[in-house]
């Protein structure tokens, strides 16, 4: 009976949950056992016919999950339960070589790497898909003027496209992190009980090399009985960092969807979706809020990942139980956040008319820096110009007068600037700086990266 929401299928795609389900995990454990048997046969440690039988029967068609659980309930060791169940389906000649020279961590840690390999590809593909959506939005809204805010207050003029351009470059950095991470995370370990390879004999290094090559992995750096957990802490950290960025994007949507702002709105199925059990008219940003909620949970998974780095001597088991949670959960939660983010931005409603309305709320004060800049160009000292415009700005706010009218009534301002110049200086579209160039650079760089990724895959 399902207990956690992940078990019910509420979060995460079928694809990512399949990577971490019990059947898939069992198959990857069998894959490792088979690869090691193959390696032994290649160097002459075991008969080829026995290795071939092991490889043929290293599948959940022969080794049943329920039988493994039944044995585990009896002996209290889940990996040894798999070994015993595997032994039962092989001939006496072949079965004596199953798990030959190995310790549990050889199989378990290497099987984790096989899961990471599949899951990281799903995450990478999802991020690329999300990036493409945002790339299109950055292009579409590169000239859509809106308020720039710091401390929750209006400070200047930007475009919505610039906001998206910043985000697509953030996603690019995460994609780079994922690709760099693979060289350290997609590694296996076939070195026996304390990492010396003694149980594998004089050809231990060759056995490891052959087995891991067959599995599509590289040997881990120096190991003890286990792959060192700084590797896994880095993995969980990277996934959590990606989640933090997705939360940032979602927080911005939530803020911009506030009723009094209403510049963007996340998608809502008006024909059937319920926003509130109390208020029929509500249209809550539930997808964005879900992203933020899951990001908080992901950050909680960082603590055990870091605690697992410091184990006793060559290993203890204080990492084992929590890793059954944190690896699968980190990937599944992030997958859900990526899919939810894509849904939000694919269906995002943009309200340029509200952006224009909000820009006008301060009656031109957004462009006070532009006035300072021009006064300095006309010969006034920068600090004097700043103070003069500050006084005018405060008067505009306190007396609820249009900024341009306050400026026109100040003799120092009008001694240097004409009315025509003031009107031009208070034109919002005139104070975007190099926004368009910045967006175009981000778009071009991202398109090149996406094209390069396609070429690499092909």
Active site (catalytic) residues:
151, 276
Q: Is the dihedral of CA 29, 31, 32, 38 positive or negative?
A: positive
Cα separation, 391 vs 382, whole angstroms? 14
**Between the CA of residue 110 and those of 227, 236, 315, what are the distances in Å?**
9, 17, 16
Q: Would you say 340 and 290 are in contact if contact means Cβ atoms under 8 Å apart?
A: yes
Residue 152 CB-density burial (10 A; 0-12 exposed, 13-18 middle, 19+ buried) = exposed
Pairing type for strands 264-265 and 349-350 reads antiparallel
Q: How many CA atoms lie within 13 A of 141 on its CB side?
A: 26
**Cα 75 from chain centroid (whole Å):** 39
- Report the alpha-carbon distance of residue 252 to residue 166 in Å, rounded: 13
**Cβ–Cβ under 8 Å, residues 229 and 311:** yes
Distance separating alpha carbons of residues 102 and 92, to the nearest angstrom: 19
* 107 in Cβ contact with 58 (< 8 Å): no
Kindly tell me the number of DSSP H helices and DSSP E strands found in the chain: 20, 6
Cα–Cα dist 372/382, whole Å: 7
**Nearest-angstrom CA–CA distance, 223 and 219:** 10
Q: Which residue has the tokens 């290795």?
A: 51
If you search the block for the tokens 């984790």, which residue do you land on?
A: 112
Spell out the residues 6+ positions from residue 14 whose beta carbon is closer than 8 angstroms to its own.
Answer: none
Phi and psi at 362, nearest 5°, equal -100, 10
Distance CA 162, CA 2 (A): 44
- C-alpha neighbours within 13 Å on the C-beta side of residue 80: 7
Task: Report the alpha-carbon distance of residue 317 to residue 145 in Å, rounded.
Answer: 56
N-terminal to C-terminal alpha carbon distance within the chain:
43
């Amino acid at each position: 009976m399902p207990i956690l929401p992940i078990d019910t299928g509420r979060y995460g795609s079928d694809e990512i949950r399949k990577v971490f389900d019990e059947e898939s995990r069992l198959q990857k454990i069998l894959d490792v056992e088979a690869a090691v048997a193959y390696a032994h046969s290649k160097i002459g440690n075991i008969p080829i016919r026995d290795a071939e039988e092991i490889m043929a029967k290293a599948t959940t068609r022969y080794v049943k999950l329920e039988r493994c659980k039944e044995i585990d309930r009896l002996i209290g060791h889940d990996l040894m339960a798999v070994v015993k169940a595997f032994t039962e389906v092989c001939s006496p000649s072949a079965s004596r070589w199953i798990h030959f020279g190995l310790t549990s961590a050889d199989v378990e840690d290497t099987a984790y790497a096989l899961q990471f390999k599949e899951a990281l590809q799903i995450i990478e593909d999802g991020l690329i898909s999300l990036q493409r959506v945002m790339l299109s939005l950055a292009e579409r809204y590169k000239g859509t003027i809106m308020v720039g805010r710091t401390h929750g207050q209006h400070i200047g003029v930007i475009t919505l496209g610039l906001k998206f351009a910043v985000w697509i470059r953030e996603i690019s950095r995460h994609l780079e992190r994922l690709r760099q991470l693979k060289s350290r995370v997609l590694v296996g370990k076939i070195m026996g009980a304390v990492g010396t390879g003694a149980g594998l004999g004089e050809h231990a290094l060759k056995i490891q090399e052959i087995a891991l090559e067959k599995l599509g992995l590289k040997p881990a750096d120096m190991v003890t009985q286990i792959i060192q957990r700084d590797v896994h802490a880095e993995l969980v950290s990277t996934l959590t960092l990606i989640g933090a960025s997705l939360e940032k994007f979602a927080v911005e949507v939530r803020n911009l969807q506030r009723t009094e702002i209403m510049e963007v709105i996340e998608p809502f199925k008006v024909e059937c979706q319920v926003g509130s059990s109390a208020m029929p008219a509500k249209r809550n940003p539930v997808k964005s809020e879900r992203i933020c909620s899951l990001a908080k949970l992901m950050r909680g998974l960082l603590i055990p990942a870091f605690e697992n780095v410091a184990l006793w001597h060559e290993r203890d088991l204080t990492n084992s139980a929590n890793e059954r949670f944190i690896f699968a959960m980190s990937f599944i939660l992030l997958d859900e956040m990526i899919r939810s983010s894509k849904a939000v931005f694919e269906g995002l409603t943009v309200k340029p008319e509200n952006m224009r309305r909000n820009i006008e709320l301060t009656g031109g004060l957004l462009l006070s820096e532009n006035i300072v800049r021009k006064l300095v160009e006309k010969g006034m000292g920068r600090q004097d110009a700043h103070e003069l415009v500050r006084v005018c700005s405060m008067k505009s706010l306190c007396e609820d007068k249009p900024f341009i009218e306050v400026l026109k009534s100040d003799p120092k301002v009008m001694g240097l600037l004409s009315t025509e110049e003031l009107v031009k200086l208070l034109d919002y579209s005139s104070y975007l700086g190099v926004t368009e160039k910045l967006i175009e650079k981000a778009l071009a760089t991202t398109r090149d990266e996406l094209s390069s990724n396609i070429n690499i895959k092909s």
